[in-house]
Amino acid sequence: MTVDTCVIVPTIREFECVREYVANAREHGHDERLFFLLVTEDFCDTEAMRSMLGDLGASGAVFDGSRREEWFASEGIEEYSHLVPAASHAQTSFGLLYMWADPRFEYGVFIDDDTLPHDTDFFGGHYRNLAHDGEVTAVESDERWVNVLYQNHDDHGLYPRGYPYSAMHEETEKRVERVGDVVASQGLWTNVPDLDAVRILMDGDLRGQARTRTDREDYGEDFVAARGQYLTVCSMNLAFRRAVIPAFYQLPMDDNPWDVGRFDDIWSGVFLKRACDLVGAQIYNGTPLCEHNKAPRSTFDDLHNEAPALELNEHVWRIVDDAGGPPVDAAASDPADDPARYADAFAAMAEALIAHDNEFENGEFLAYVGEHMLEWLDCLAALDGAPLADAAAPTTGPRPADAADD
């Protein structure tokens, strides 16, 4: 087995979680497929991270801010380095660029540093989801949003971070559909739920965690959101195919003139779901679960980061909802593994954001996001050395400059 999966771990704190993921992969025979890419900052102990990978005998590399700048220069794309904000969770976008530059990687996995795998085959579960071709539960609601925590909602009443407040109190329906062309696998989480600051405050918690917790019994069957429906996508436990990278930019949060943060994976998930509907692909949700051990922090700090875009979050999905045309039937569509199709969908959404009428608080930020989305596509094309529309098969070439870290 050769390396085909880039495991992207943004970390400035608990990088030791990688030990548990390596052990889980080794137990189930996946470790030779995995390359662990730790994305961190100059103020962190990068030598300790590299030593950990060496002690584990794990293939991987560590990139702080300085080394990221070196990488951009080595690839001849310095002009795009601003696409990856410093000291932000959205620095996961660097992992996507790193994947795109190396044709070995067919799959990517996002893992947050405050999570641990359960005692199941974590990576095998994601691989199986991505290969799924058969029946699965399809969920939809009258609000066109699927709460990924819907299965035990009557007991815990939770809505995940990024779920629009205007879409609450939805009526949910389920049916069984045949599903193939799965391009992303979202594993959910036990222990600390992934909530926004307002909902954490409503749960009576000032330490950023929420008092209501989730466990394995809160999750039953795996599911997809039906075509034309939206859902929150959290990148703490997420696997995906290479083909979606053009439509999966983790958006420019935190370091922007409006101080908007905390919506990088949420909005990228909205855009990915819209792209999947246009391409005829699906996002698979449920297992494998991870344990989310969020460290205590001020709930009001999170609220400060989220507040500038709370109104925008209610509307951004509607702005992109018509971009690119109507959803397609997967059975009648062209192959769902063509990156150019995701690029076309992403470009259409970017143009819609740039052209929107700016009627919301901090609405200028949406045009800013749209402009960065178009630059993202230009950056990928520059890495390919050809327009992205011709990139159905990524170009081969020299390994990235850090190959010695393998």
Per-residue pLDDT tens digits for 116-163: 999 999 999 999 999 999 999 999 999 999 999 999 999 999 999 999
| Res. 390: pLDDT tops 60 | no
Give the chain's count of helices (H) and strands (E): 12, 13
Q: Is 337 a domain residue?
A: yes
Q: Is 89 a domain residue?
A: no
What pLDDT, on a 0 to 100 scale, did the predictor assign at position 333?
Answer: 58
Q: Is 7 a domain residue?
A: no
* Residue 336 pLDDT grade (very low, low, confident, very high; cuts 50, 70, 90): confident
Q: Is 128 a domain residue?
A: yes
Q: Could you tell me whether strands 237-241 and 115-117 are parallel, antiparallel, or unpaired per DSSP bridges?
A: unpaired
Q: Where are the alpha helices (DSSP H) in 57-196?
A: 65-74, 92-101, 122-130, 153-156
- pLDDT: which is higher, 215 or 337: 215
Q: Is 15 a domain residue?
A: no
Instruction: State the residue range of the domain holding 185.
Output: 114-397
Collapse the DSSP code of 67 into the 3-class scheme (helix H, G, I; strand E, B; otherwise coil) and give the result: helix
What pLDDT, on a 0 to 100 scale, did the predictor assign at position 334?
Answer: 66
Per residue in 343-388, pLDDT tens? 999 999 999 999 998 899 999 999 999 999 999 999 999 998 877 7
Q: Is 282 a domain residue?
A: yes
Q: Is 22 a domain residue?
A: no
* C-beta of residue 109 within 8 angstroms of C-beta of residue 152: no
Global pTM exceeds 0.85: yes
Question: Domain total for the chain?
Answer: 1
Q: Is 354 exposed, middle or buried (0-12, 13-18, 19+ CB in 10 A)?
A: middle
Can you read off the two tokens belonging to residue 146?
């699927």
Q: Is 51 a domain residue?
A: no
Rounded distance between C-alpha atoms, residue 115 and residue 109, angstroms: 13
| Res. 404: pLDDT tops 80 | no
